[in-house]
Chain A
Amino acid sequence: MSGPDPERFDAFDARLKKAREQRQEAPERGAVDRSGMGTGLQAGIDVVAGVIGGLLIGWALDRWLGTSPVLLVVFLFLGAAAGTRNAFRTLQRLMEEGDRR
């Protein structure tokens, strides 16, 4: 064979391009695959943390202001709402991640 054969180079370029496209198309899997239970636990902990946080803040404020148990009750409900909000956010983020994959 004398000199480089341009046709073979073209064929090689086409092959390379195809290979690259295939690599791009391959669904990129994240490092971690989450199970349904894991997702549920994640959201559950968010709710529980909200309730605990609300209780702690309410209890501390009650002790400080001497309004027991008004603020404890108020912050219990606020904390539950905040926890639910966080859980909602967590699930939303996980779903977006799932969509991207």
Chain B
Amino acid sequence: MASPLDQFIIKPIIPIEIAGADLSFTNSALWMAISVAAIYTLVMLGTRQAALVPGRLQSVVELSYEFVASMIRDNAGREGMKYFPIIFSLFMFILFGNMLGMIPGSFTFTSHIIVTFFMAACVFVTVTVIGFMKHGLHFLTLFTPPGAPKAIWPLLVPVEILSYCVRPISLSVRLFCNMLAGLTMMKVFATFAVALGIFGFAPLLIIIALTGLKILVAFLQAYIFTVLTCVYLHDSLHLH
């Protein structure tokens, strides 16, 4: 019987090797490409005719725009709107990755720590660079908590710096864990459903409930990743 973890195996579809490095086009890359194509198609079709009274597709695109825009305004402030394009892309990419991963037989690229960690690391580097560009060396005051007596600074500052540096870890682990756990759980219950014969309807009911939960989690995790990006952006724009 197939292992519940088989769904996460990366298989090369078109093997490519350049200078000893394996650069194959894998199933992970395929589903990333599908997500990008789907997002592009949705946004392009939705904005093709900018009608005053939006049609269905246009409403979807406008809703997602409004959703991300209000998220940035609430969490990063008005100045954050400058970075709307990257945050919108991030949100849509993760959302589509999570949602397309719900299709049976598809591959969920957000269930791989390296994918989520790379995205989190990009956010981390971007936010840090923005902070230094905007405030210069003054940005380092982010690590000196206001109101704390100077005597405990030697203890507080390392903790603050470390807590800044582990942000990409918590950001990526959160998304990856949720996707991995949900998908594995579904496969495990599916195995039960097959093994139990006619009594398999009980795990089947659980799978139905889990599917609903997974759709919620898929959206929620994309939302949390983006909100935290906005919060980090706020920190580097405003310092405390």
Contacts and interface: CB of A to CB of B under 8 A. Distances in A.
Interface string A6-42: 0000000000000000000000000110100010001
Interface string B20-33: 00000000000000
A50 B165 CA distance: 9
Contacts of B121: none
A48 B173 CA distance: 9
Contacts of A50: 162-163, 166, 170
B60 interface: no
B231 interface: yes
Contacts of B231: 93
Contacts of B135: none
Contacts of B219: 32
Contacts of B167: 86
Q: How large is the interface on A (under 10, 10 to 19, 20 to 34, 35 or more residues)?
A: 20 to 34
Interface centre among B159, B160, B163, B169 (most CB of A within 10 A): B163
A82 B163 contact: yes
A53 B159 CA distance: 12
Contacts of B174: 42, 45
Interface residues of B, number: 19
Contacts of A81: 159, 162-163
A73 interface: no
Nearest to A75: B162
Interface string A45-66: 1101110111001000000000
Interface string B208-229: 0000000000011001100000
A49 B223 contact: no
Contacts of A45: 170, 173-174, 177
B67 interface: yes
B220 A38 contact: yes
9 contacts: A46-B170, A50-B170, A52-B166, A53-B162, A53-B166, A57-B162, A82-B160, A85-B163, A86-B170
Interface of B: 67, 158-160, 162-163, 165-167, 169-170, 173-174, 177, 219-220, 223-224, 231
Interface of A: 31-32, 34, 38, 42, 45-46, 48-50, 52-54, 57, 75, 78-79, 81-83, 85-86, 89, 93
